[in-house]
Amino acid sequence: MTTIGNGSGTQELAGKRALVTGGSRGIGAAVVRQLLDAGAEVLTTARSATNTVPEGAAFVEADVRTRAGAEALAAAAQEVLGGVDVLVHNAGGAQPYKDASAIPDEEWQEALDLNYLASVRLDALLAPGMRERRSGVIMHISSAAVLTPVGPFLHYTAAKAALENYSKGLALELAPFGVRVNTVTPGRVATPGGEATREQWARLDVAPGRTSADATVPLGRDGRPDDIAHAVLFLASDRASWLTASNLVVDGGEFPRG
Ligand code: NDP
């Protein structure tokens, strides 16, 4: 397994214990690699292990969509790491439907469980320890799709929008205890999950949106998992010690804000 590195050549997260959900591929795997490279001890999780789980990370199988999964994961984090200093909620996604009315009830619930409530539940289990230690960093991974919600993905974007709002509120609650909470919002990133979803969307033959990033992304390309991981690493580090309740949009300039 190649280590990509954070480019800083430092061990700025030495001694930190990090938990990353969905670290077996895509953005999560890049985050795990960069945290390891910065000296952190990392535990990651997915529903099943693959050979793409970065070498050097501890891995435990868990499904974050359920309360039982969150509890099992929190217990594993306690056992393996002895506590969590950096928590990255990365697992997420949803399949597209023809339009909003075609999204089944259970898919709305599933999207909420995976993209929103998974974070709420795990934070409720792990944030109290951070509050007690008066330090810790939590990051929620949202999606730039929130900025232009479309019918086929409303279950997903609505859940991510809720996540962003919740993240801000949690940040304000935990700030007096020295715990920072931020959102990272990726634009279109080339990952196994992202590509599979876009193929499904194209097959639905409804307003598929753009197929190439070149025309719409000012920086002229789709994102790479490491583009997002760099932002996560920065927020995890002391270089971001005055940053909380923020939403860092990493999208090549596609959705100008601020
Ligand atoms: P991938 O589908 O490539 O990877 C998702 C990871 O999460 C895998 O490790 C997967 O493993 C794990 N995972 C999925 N469901 C669960 C579950 N229920 N419990 C535990 N682990 C789970 O996703 P990306 O890297 O593309 O996306 C990562 C995050 O970035 C997501 O939150 C996504 O919404 C967001 N994002 C992605 C964009 C993109 O273009 N790629 C754009 C904007 C936001 P397994 O399947 O084995 O469980």
Return the closest-CA partner of residue 119 out of 244, 19, 230, 249.
Answer: 19
Q: What is the mean pLDDT of residues 111-118?
A: 98
Are residues 157 and 104 in contact, defined by beta-carbon separation less than 8 angstroms? no
Task: Find out whether the beta carbon of 185 lies less than 6 Å from any atom of ligand 1.
Answer: no
Separation of 152 CA from ligand 1 center, angstroms? 18
- Any bridge partners for residue 29, and if so which? none
Measured distance CA(22)–CA(41) in Å, rounded: 16
- Residue 239 has which token pair? 């270089």
Q: Which atom of ligand 1 is nearest to the CA of 144?
A: 43
Residue 213 has pLDDT above 80, yes or no: no
Give pLDDT, residue 3: 38
Return the closest-CA partner of residue 164 out of 150, 149, 177.
Answer: 149
Q: How confident is the model at residue 152 (pLDDT cuts 50, 70, 90)?
A: very high
Q: Specify the range with the lowest mean pLDDT, choosing from 19-23, 62-66, 73-77, 208-212.
A: 208-212
What pTM was computed for the model?
A: 0.95
Ligand 1 test: best mutation among 191, 197, 212, most atoms within 8 Å of CB? 191
Task: Find out whether the beta carbon of 90 lies less than 6 Å from any atom of ligand 1.
Answer: yes
Q: How confident is the model at residue 2 (pLDDT cuts 50, 70, 90)?
A: very low
Q: What is the mean pLDDT of residues 64-86?
A: 98
Give pLDDT, residue 170: 99
Return the closest-CA partner of residue 46 out of 21, 27, 29, 26.
Answer: 21
Q: What is the mean pLDDT of residues 233-258?
A: 95
- Helical ranges in the chain per DSSP H: 26-37, 67-81, 105-112, 118-133, 154-174, 192-204, 225-236
Give pLDDT, residue 139: 99
What does pLDDT average to over the chain? 93
Task: Find out whether the beta carbon of 224 lies less than 6 Å from any atom of ligand 1.
Answer: no
Are residues 182 and 233 in contact, defined by beta-carbon separation less than 8 angstroms? no
Q: Which atom of ligand 1 is nearest to the CA of 113?
A: 18
Task: Find out whether the beta carbon of 232 lies less than 6 Å from any atom of ligand 1.
Answer: no
Are residues 42 and 72 in contact, defined by beta-carbon separation less than 8 angstroms? no
156 flagged as catalytic: yes
Percent of the chain topping pLDDT 70: 93
Task: Find out whether the beta carbon of 189 lies less than 6 Å from any atom of ligand 1.
Answer: yes
> What three-state secondary structure class fits 25?
coil
Are residues 16 and 85 in contact, defined by beta-carbon separation less than 8 angstroms? yes
What domains, with CATH codes, occur in the chain? 17-250 (3.40.50.720)
